[in-house]
Amino acid sequence: MAHVTVEGRKVFYQCPREPGRAAPRGRLVLLVHGAFDDHRLWRHLCPALAESHTPIAIDLPGRGGSDGPAIKSAAAYLRFFGSLVDALGLERFVFFGHSMGGSMAVEFAAHHPERTEALVLMSSAPRWDVRQEDVLLWDTDWDRAHRENEGLLYSKKTPRALREDYERQMRKTPAASCKADLETCRTFALDGLLGRIGAPTLVVCGDEEHWIDGSQALHRGIASSRLELVPAAGHAIALEQPERLEAIVNDFLRTLR
């Protein structure tokens, strides 16, 4: 566990081997969580990937171990990731993003193809249908805002204990950062960029994903993509079906040359 300074903020990252200082094992994989979340989303996947590869899981600004303030737009995140990968010394890497993090990965790959070895887009979309009232709810009723989000995250088969654990985790993210995440989501409009993606791309989605249309749109728009549907999973696929996800991702990484 360590920190790197990016745009004046200390940004937390977790990596089994110090990036930029030693030859990585296998592929360099930058893991970026989605809205309201932090690096703990990857608690099952990181150890599994580390057996053959070099995963780097970060906390986005304003949550977990990273300084705030949170970022509020897609354009600002594009600049942030340009600075982050420079600070970490990443020349080429696999950008693995969940949900909002997947949208960030697409935008980065469209603007920095020379640094993008491959993409893994999990439960993501080229744009998000977020209403202004959804954003403002974080100012007036934090608990209701969380409850409305939590009702969209899971397969009907997901155990209650897992749901409750994940919900406790997300409720540790400050309300201001959650609001900033929705403001960011409102600024993604990536449909016109999908045709520019030439990197090998894995699109992963649960078969009970509330936002499944987003994953299907990514698959249709990115010619180099393949789509994998995971049974008995919703939006929280990394926690709902970690072993299945590990197998799919490792199989994809083995295809890279």
| Model pLDDT, residue 203 | 98
Task: Answer whether the bond into residue 231 is a cis peptide, omega within 30°.
Answer: no
Residue 22: pLDDT band (50, 70, 90) is low
Q: Name the residue among 236, 230, 63 with its Cα closest to residue 163.
A: 236
The answer to whether 210 and 152 are in contact (CB under 8 A) is: yes
pLDDT confidence band for 19 (50 / 70 / 90): low
3-class secondary-structure state, position 5: strand
pLDDT over 90 at 89, yes or no? yes
Would you say the C-alpha torsion 47, 173, 13, 103 has a positive or negative sign?
positive
Cross-strand pairs, 233:
none
pLDDT at 30 over 90: yes
Could you count the other beta carbons within 10 Å of the beta carbon of residue 103?
A: 28
Cα 143 to chain center, whole Å? 23
* 88, pLDDT greater than 80: yes
pLDDT at 16: 82
CB neighbourhood size of 151 (10 A): 9
Cα 89 to Cα 19: distance, rounded to the nearest angstrom: 7
The pLDDT of residue 21: 62
**Which CATH number characterizes residue 188's domain?**
3.40.50.1820
Is the distance from CB of 215 to CB of 22 less than 8 angstroms?
no
For the chain, state the CA radius of gyration: 17
Beta bridge partners of 117: none
pLDDT computed for residue 63 by the predictor: 97
pLDDT in tens, 224-242: 999 999 999 999 999 999 9
- pLDDT bin (cut points 50, 70, 90) of residue 143 is very high
Identify whether the C-beta of residue 147 lies closer than 8 Å to the C-beta of residue 230.
Answer: no
Reported pTM:
0.96
Which residue type, as a one-letter code, is found at position 8? G
Structural domain tally of the chain? 1
**Residue range 158-177: mean pLDDT, rounded:** 97
DSSP letters for 17-86: S-TTTSPPSS-EEEEE--TT--GGGGTTHHHHHHTTSEEEEEPPTTSTTS-SPPP--HHHHHHHHHHHHH
Q: pLDDT of 91-129, one tens digit each?
A: 999 999 999 999 999 999 999 999 999 999 999 999 999
Q: Rounded mean pLDDT of 184-188?
A: 98
Which tens digit of pLDDT belongs to each residue from 154-166? 999 999 999 999 9
Q: Are strands 116-122 and 201-206 parallel, antiparallel or unpaired?
A: parallel
Residue-level pLDDT at 25: 86
State the residue range of the domain holding 7. Answer: 2-255
b vs e for 13-28, b when ≥16 Cβ sit within 10 Å of the residue's Cβ? bbbeeebeeeebebbb
What are the residues facing 203 on neighbouring strands?
Answer: 121, 227
Is residue 201 predicted with pLDDT exceeding 80? Answer: yes
User: What gap in Å lies between CA 24 and CA 26, rounded to an integer?
Assistant: 6
